[in-house]
């Protein structure tokens, strides 16, 4: 049995479907969603329903919050803003009701889960470098915290005191004397130059984490974005993983 941690689906149903198929191949018994079900992509309702159907933890991301809010999203770029207007108009009442149950942070099995940094999670701060990783660790009690938000699979480990060290290797074991901040990457809009959908697979017996990448039907996801009349850049970036 393995567990899956995934984040930043961003209404990309094709990517989510491919990842769920990979869950089955990898014998995933529990899954934890770390936020941003909607925004950017063209399938918000389908994604929200699917996430709620399979995952025991559903966190609220900044795009999810913006979708439920009436106010204009202040710090969004122009593409995100356009997509957000579209998302608000497209989300049905059922999906909105499901999203109302999304939580801001959880602790499960000793893992601290948040969308941005668990240090003030409602601020949606990015965990991008050693300093922000250190802040994230000081805000949580467990051995590891798992986050999303940056769309970049990456982890930091801290050995005793001092700034954590960054690492991007594909697979590693959680060691007793170290603490970790793991960014699980993005299912629906990876930005690390690899266009394949990303998530983290965890083997609780071996205490091993693996950054998985799954190819999906990018053309179909792009086509839906274009047909929805969303900005072309939101379609083209999927093929570049940027």
Start-to-end Cα distance in the chain: 32
Binding residue (CB under 8 A) for another protein from 30, 212, 213, 224: 213
* Residue with smaller CB distance to another protein, 44 or 134: 134
**Stretch in the footprint of another protein (CB under 8 A) among 10-18, 96-104, 124-132, 197-205:** 124-132
**Stretch in the footprint of another protein (CB under 8 A) among 53-61, 94-102, 109-117, 233-241:** 233-241
The order of strands in the sheet holding 165-167 is 105-108, 111-114, 144-147, 178-183, 154-159, 165-167
* Residue with smaller CB distance to another protein, 97 or 168: 168
Cα separation, 226 vs 39, in Å, equals 15
Residue 130 in contact with another protein, rule: CB under 8 A: yes
3-state secondary structure of 161: coil
Cα separation, 139 vs 134, in Å, equals 9
Residue 162 in contact with another protein, rule: CB under 8 A: no
Q: Which residues are within 8 A (CB) of 144 and not within 5 positions of it... i.e. 6 or more apart?
A: 110, 111, 112, 174, 179, 180, 181, 182
Which residues inside 69-98 make contact with another protein, applying CB under 8 A?
none
Binding residue (CB under 8 A) for another protein from 49, 194, 203, 223: 194
Q: Site size for another protein, by CB under 8 A? A: 22
**Which parts of this chain interact with another protein (CB under 8 A)?**
128-131, 152, 154, 166-170, 191-195, 211, 213, 239-242
């Amino acid at each position: 049995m393995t567990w899956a941690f995934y984040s930043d689906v961003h209404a990309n149903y094709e990517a989510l479907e491919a990842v769920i198929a990979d869950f089955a191949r990898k014998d995933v018994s529990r899954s934890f969603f770390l936020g941003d079900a909607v925004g950017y992509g063209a399938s918000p309702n389908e994604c929200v329903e699917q996430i709620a159907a399979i995952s025991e933890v559903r966190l609220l991301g900044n795009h999810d919050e913006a979708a439920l809010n009436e106010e204009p999203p202040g710090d969004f770029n122009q593409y995100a803003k356009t997509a957000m207007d579209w998302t608000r108009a497209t989300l049905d009442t059922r999906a909105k009701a499901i999203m109302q149950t999304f939580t801001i942070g959880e602790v499960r099995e000793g893992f601290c889960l948040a969308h941005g940094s668990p240090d003030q999670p409602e601020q949606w701060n990015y965990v991008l470098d050693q300093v922000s990783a250190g802040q994230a660790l000081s805000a949580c009690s467990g051995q590891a915290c798992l986050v999303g938000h940056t769309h970049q699979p990456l982890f930091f480990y801290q050995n005793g005191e001092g700034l954590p060290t960054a690492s991007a290797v594909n697979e590693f074991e959680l060691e007793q004397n170290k603490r970790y901040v793991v960014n699980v990457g993005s299912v629906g809009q990876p930005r690390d130059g690899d266009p394949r959908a990303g998530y983290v697979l965890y083997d609780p017996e071996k205490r091993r984490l693996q950054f998985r990448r799954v190819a999906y039907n990018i053309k179909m996801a792009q086509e839906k974005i274009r047909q929805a009349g969303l900005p072309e850049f939101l379609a083209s970036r999927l093929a570049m993983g940027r």
